[in-house]
Amino acid sequence: MNKWSSAFACTLALCAVCASAQENFPNRPIRLLVGFPPGGSTDVSARVLAQRLGASLGQAVVVENRAGAGGHVATLAVAGAPPDGYTLLWANSSQVVLPVVFKQDANFDPLRDLTPLTAATKVDSLLVVPATSGITTFKQFVSMLQDNSKNKAYGTQGAGTPGHIMNAWVASRAGATNTVAVHYKGATNSEADFLSGQITYRFDTVTTLKRLGNKLNCLASLTEKRLPDAPDCPTFAEVGMPLDIDWTLWNSVQAPGRIPKPLLDRLYGSVSRILEDAEFAKDLAKFGITPMTGYTPEKTRSLQVQQIREWGDAVKRMGITGSE
């Protein structure tokens, strides 16, 4: 056998091994990486999905929290993992949108280095203050922002994250000056400082509002209509600050780039069936989270590209660089 025949035989053997591995998938536990600490809406929704996905695939799906850099630590871990279906990312939209918007890492491009399975869930955001602040209306909040004698520190999940952009957006629209961003590894990490009043305001999710209840005052929601879980909280349009961008935060399942299509199809099929299940929707509703259905990998990529454009325009207008 000459060297070309030998190389061809080796290639065929490798292809056979790969095909066999895909046919037997999965034969060991799957890791689902979350880029934020336990307890937040991203983590909660990942765990609800993982339990059902494990049952569907016949193997455990283990949620692994890799907090740091606004979710970027977990994102890079998945992007660099073998594309064998055993390492997946439960990504919020910021992890697959903002790295492009801010050009955060010259060696990473989510459009190249990750493959979306499906957009899976969404959660709505609310402007909240500690109940102990005494602020109960949006008008009072704006007055506080415009008073340079007041503490105007706001908490975020990290520089260049949605919380950072949303807080900067409301401050800009309110004509505030001297606001101070305090960046944390995740929303749950800032909670003690927030409830004690060291952090004056922040954007949070319905998930947190339901959990903390009367410890928070909701001043406005980033939604077109009032939310069933917060019926007394007006929309930004109702308080005189109409939205000029869609601030919906969505989670998706992402695989490493170059994942073989048979594996992609297998995983997408399993996840999409879960998203369409009524009991799954009920479990998510307990946390103020809504499933997204009908998002093929192609449609999910289109949503990602659309938000890259919209959020990119917004941060350019506000002069946010993502490194403040």
Q: Which residues pair with 256 in a beta bridge?
A: 114
pLDDT band at 63 (very low <50, low <70, confident <90, very high): very high
Angle between helix 278-285 and 41-57 (nearest 10): 160
pLDDT attached to residue 232: 94
- Comparing 61 with 323, the larger pLDDT belongs to 61
pLDDT band at 321 (very low <50, low <70, confident <90, very high): confident
Q: What phi and psi values does residue 224 have, to the nearest 5 degrees?
A: -75, -30
pLDDT attached to residue 3: 53
pLDDT exceeding 90 applies to what percent of the chain? 63
- Tens of pLDDT along 167-222? 989 998 998 878 888 988 766 778 889 999 889 999 988 888 888 888 999 999 99
243 exposed, middle or buried (CB, 10 Å; 0-12, 13-18, 19+)? middle
- Bond from prior residue into 26 cis (ω within 30 degrees of 0): yes
Joined together, the tokens standing for residue 194 give: 């927030």
Contacts of 15 by beta carbon, 8 Å cutoff, 6+ apart: none
CA distance 157 to 155: 7
Above 60 in pLDDT, residue 149? yes
Joined together, the tokens standing for residue 182 give: 């305090």
Report the C-alpha dihedral over residues 91, 46, 81, 74, rounded to 10 degrees.
60
pLDDT attached to residue 10: 46
Contacts of 78 by beta carbon, 8 Å cutoff, 6+ apart: 33, 87, 88, 89, 114, 254, 255, 256
The angle at the Cα of 11, spanning 5 to 16, to the nearest 5 degrees, equals 125
Out of 101-115, 175-189, 258-272, 292-306, least confident range:
175-189
Q: Which residues pair with 61 in a beta bridge?
A: 30
pLDDT attached to residue 186: 63
Above 50 in pLDDT, residue 12? no
For the chain, domains (ranges, CATH) are 27-123+249-318 (3.40.190.150), 125-221 (3.40.190.10)
Q: What phi and psi values does residue 316 have, to the nearest 5 degrees?
A: -65, -40
Out of 5-19, 75-89, 194-208, least confident range:
5-19
Report the pLDDT averaged over residues 154-158.
83
Q: What phi and psi values does residue 73 have, to the nearest 5 degrees?
A: -60, -50
Report the C-alpha dihedral over residues 190, 192, 198, 203, rounded to 10 degrees.
50
